[in-house]
């Protein structure tokens, strides 16, 4: 007698999954080797740079979906669903942040400095407590938004086992339930946008600006969350392009999607450059020694001056010139190359902000193989996290277009 029960088919691990897992192991090994070497501060510097970059990518990509939902943007379609897959990196990001505490003596140069009254704010217990709580709040709100998005876009496939069964439990697919979930999504999307701006500003102040405790910029918080959205959009474009190349028209992604998100990407390229310029202008005209020293060290002195120009050219000049062309925005392969170059550029932008404070008097960038391997390890973690999500919700991007606002 045939059984009426349906068997749940769990995604199988592909050879590519093992490749990225190996990359993570290589990155972890390089990091461990670095922290037991005579100069552990180099390994912790690379770790901090990658934590900030890859966390910003995940946070910024999810922000895209939240903004699209709040503005009822019809054009986002499957892009919003793909953006939400980056939330799978949130738990890893939080664990990676906790590991930073172990390297606190190598990360924060102000531990052995006279802070002239700033000890109330710049002390390790308070800094890690507030940042830990901030990230927990941001990620909890992000998962609450994702939970409702998953319910709204639940497919009709009865084989919802394991992880998916927990998500879809109690879900009834009807108009009334859909409207209720959409209202919840709107609330969580608004909270995520608010938390994103506040907590990314806090992270920027605590983990980047505080490296030079006598320097302050009131625009740095805004600069940090604009940058996070910029790189998040870049990573989303790469994922969407790879999905389109791999699945073709069945992915639901059309040239119009790439053109529209390309325009948004171009807009944030301009906005990032504007924050970059305005911040520089305010410091230049203020002419306060503590502030001008920070800029002079990174834009005039060797070896940072050449790096500063390279970052500006890669992250602004090149995308500005290229993205003016309408047709290029609609070409997935070209956008993958461009966005990859820009993300690499922002890796060096983080290096430009952090390294001068951690290695005063350096005459060269002193990058080594460990920096590359640690970065590769973080990249592997991101790919594994996003792949984990997409494999367990394979129809997620296809259903997103039908359920998108409007």
Tokens of 159: 């084989």
**pLDDT single digits (tens) 36-95:** 999 899 999 999 999 999 999 999 999 999 999 999 988 888 899 999 999 999 999 999
Q: Is the pLDDT of residue 161 over 70?
A: no
Residues 112, 367, 44, 283, Cα dihedral to 10°: 50
Q: Is the pLDDT of residue 126 over 90?
A: yes
Residue 86 contacts residue 57 (beta carbons within 8 Å): yes
pLDDT of residue 175: 61
Q: Is the pLDDT of residue 157 over 50?
A: no
Q: Is the pLDDT of residue 246 over 90?
A: no
Residue 151, phi then psi, degrees to nearest 5: -65, -40
Residue 377 contacts residue 24 (beta carbons within 8 Å): yes
Q: Is the pLDDT of residue 397 over 70?
A: no
CA atoms of 336 and 320, how far apart (whole Å): 16
Residue found by looking up tokens 């890669």 in the block: 314
pLDDT of residue 286: 84
Q: Cis before residue 274, ω within 30 degrees of 0?
A: no
pLDDT of residue 215: 87
Binned at pLDDT 50, 70 and 90, residue 399 comes out as very low
Mean pLDDT on 271-275 = 94
Task: Say which residue, 130 or 276, is predicted with more confidence.
Answer: 130
CA atoms of 354 and 215, how far apart (whole Å): 13
CA atoms of 269 and 272, how far apart (whole Å): 5
Task: Say which residue, 363 or 277, is predicted with more confidence.
Answer: 277
**pLDDT single digits (tens) 326-360:** 889 989 999 999 999 999 999 999 999 999 887 76
Task: Say which residue, 14 or 177, is predicted with more confidence.
Answer: 177
Q: Is the pLDDT of residue 217 over 80?
A: yes
Mean pLDDT on 28-40 = 94
Q: Is the pLDDT of residue 309 over 80?
A: yes
Q: Is the pLDDT of residue 204 over 80?
A: yes
pLDDT of residue 233: 97
Whole-prediction pTM value? 0.91
Mean pLDDT on 289-293 = 83
Q: b/e for 244-277, b at 16 or more Cβ within 10 A?
A: beeeeeebbbbeebbbbbbebbbebbebbbebbe
Binned at pLDDT 50, 70 and 90, residue 12 comes out as low
pLDDT of residue 6: 41
Tokens of 354: 């952090």
pLDDT of residue 176: 61
User: What secondary structure, in 3-state letters, does 20-31 show?
Assistant: HHHHHHHHHHHH
Q: Is the pLDDT of residue 154 over 80?
A: no
pLDDT of residue 158: 44
pLDDT of residue 302: 83
CA atoms of 183 and 187, how far apart (whole Å): 6
pLDDT of residue 372: 96
Mean pLDDT on 211-215 = 88
Mean pLDDT on 93-119 = 90
CA atoms of 8 and 161, how far apart (whole Å): 6
Task: Say which residue, 262 or 17, is predicted with more confidence.
Answer: 262
Q: Is the pLDDT of residue 22 over 60?
A: yes
Q: Is the pLDDT of residue 13 over 60?
A: no
CA atoms of 278 and 281, how far apart (whole Å): 5
Highest mean pLDDT pick, 14-23, 228-237, 282-291: 228-237
CA angle 248, 254, 256 (to 5 degrees): 160
Alpha-carbon radius of gyration of the chain: 22
**pLDDT single digits (tens) 1-10:** 444 444 444 4
Tokens of 52: 């900030």
CA atoms of 262 and 95, how far apart (whole Å): 32
Tokens of 379: 């990249």
pLDDT of residue 195: 98
pLDDT of residue 169: 60
| Per-chain mean pLDDT for the chain | 87
Residue found by looking up tokens 């740079």 in the block: 49
């Amino acid at each position: 007698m045939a059984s009426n029960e349906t068997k749940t088919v769990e995604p199988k691990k592909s050879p590519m999954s093992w490749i990225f897992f190996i990359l993570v192991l290589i990155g972890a090994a390089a990091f461990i080797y670095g922290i037991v070497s005579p100069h552990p501060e180099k390994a912790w510097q690379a770790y901090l740079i990658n934590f900030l970059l890859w966390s910003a990518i995940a946070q910024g990509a999810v922000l895209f979906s939240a903004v699209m939902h709040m503005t009822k943007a019809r054009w986002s379609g499957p892009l919003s669903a793909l953006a939400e897959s980056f939330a799978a990196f949130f738990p890893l990001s939080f664990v990676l942040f906790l590991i930073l505490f172990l390297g606190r003596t190598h990360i924060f140069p102000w531990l052995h400095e006279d802070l002239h009254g700033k000890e109330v704010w710049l002390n390790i217990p308070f800094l890690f407590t507030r940042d830990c709580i901030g990230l927990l709040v941001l990620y909890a709100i992000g998962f609450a938004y994702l939970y409702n998005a998953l319910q709204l876009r639940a497919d009709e496939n009865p084989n919802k086992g394991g992880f998916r069964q927990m998500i879809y439990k109690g879900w009834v697919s009807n108009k009334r339930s859909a409207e209720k979930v959409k209202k919840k999504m709107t609330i969580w999307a608004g909270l995520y946008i608010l938390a994103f701006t506040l907590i990314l500003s806090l992270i920027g102040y605590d983990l980047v600006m505080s490296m030079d405790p006598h320097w302050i910029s009131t625009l740095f918080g805004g600069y940090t969350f604009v940058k996070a959205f910029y790189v998040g959009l870049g990573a989303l474009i790469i994922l969407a392009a790879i999905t389109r190349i791999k699945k073709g028209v069945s992915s639901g992604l059309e040239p119009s999607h790439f053109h529209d998100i390309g325009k948004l990407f171009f807009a944030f390229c301009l906005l990032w450059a504007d924050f970059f310029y305005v911040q520089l202008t305010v410091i230049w005209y203020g002419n306060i020694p503590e502030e001008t020293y920070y800029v002079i060290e990174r834009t005039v002195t060797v070896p940072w001056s050449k790096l500063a120009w390279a970052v500006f050219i890669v992250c602004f000049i090149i995308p500005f010139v290229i993205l003016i062309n309408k047709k290029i925005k609609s070409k997935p392969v070209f956008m993958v190359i461009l966005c990859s170059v820009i993300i690499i550029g922002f890796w060096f932008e983080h290096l430009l902000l952090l390294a001068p404070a951690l290695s005063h008097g350096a005459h060269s960038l002193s990058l080594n193989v460990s920096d590359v391997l640690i970065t590769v390890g973080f990249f592997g973690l991101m790919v594994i996290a996003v792949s984990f999500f997409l494999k367990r919700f394979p129809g997620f991007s296809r259903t997103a277009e039908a359920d998108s606002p409007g």
